[in-house]
Amino acid sequence: MNAWAVIVAAGLGSYLLRVSMIGAADRFRPPARLDDAAGLVAPSAFAALAVSDIAGAALDGGALQASAPLTAAAVAVLAVARTGSAYAGMLAGLPTLWILTALTSA
């Protein structure tokens, strides 16, 4: 099996995962409780992805360098909580990361 075949097979398998539940949507109507649970997938996924990314960035350097992404994330949480704007996190968090990274790596 060469590289081309492996990539095609992996792509086909990934596609089947993507449409696995969608295809059954018309034939299978889940109970309300399962529908409610499906509504929690998004916030849970967002939290899991965010924590993985932030922790990954924090573990990239030493203890001092770890403070930059952690503080930037904390500033972003505060900014969003205070303003209610989803974009405030990026506007406050990224400059915080730049400044702290420059300070801790100096």
Binding site for other proteins (CB under 8 A): 1, 3-15, 17-26, 29-30, 33, 35-57, 59, 69, 72-73, 76-77, 80-81, 84-90, 93-94, 97-98, 101
Structure tokens at 7: 């990539």
- Cβ neighbours of 66 (radius 10 Å): 16
- Give whichever of 30 and 62 is closer to other proteins, judged by the CB atom: 30
Q: Do 88 and 79 meet the contact criterion of CB atoms below 8 Å apart?
A: yes
Distance, in Å, from the CA atom of 79 to the CA atom of 89, rounded to the nearest integer, reads 6
Least distance (Å) between residue 62 CB and other proteins: 16
Q: Residues 6 or more apart from 79 whose CB is under 8 A from it? A: 88, 89, 91, 92, 93
Least gap, CB of 63 to other proteins (angstroms): 16
Cβ 50 to other proteins shortest distance, Å: 4
Please state the closest distance from residue 26 (CB atom) to other proteins, in A: 6
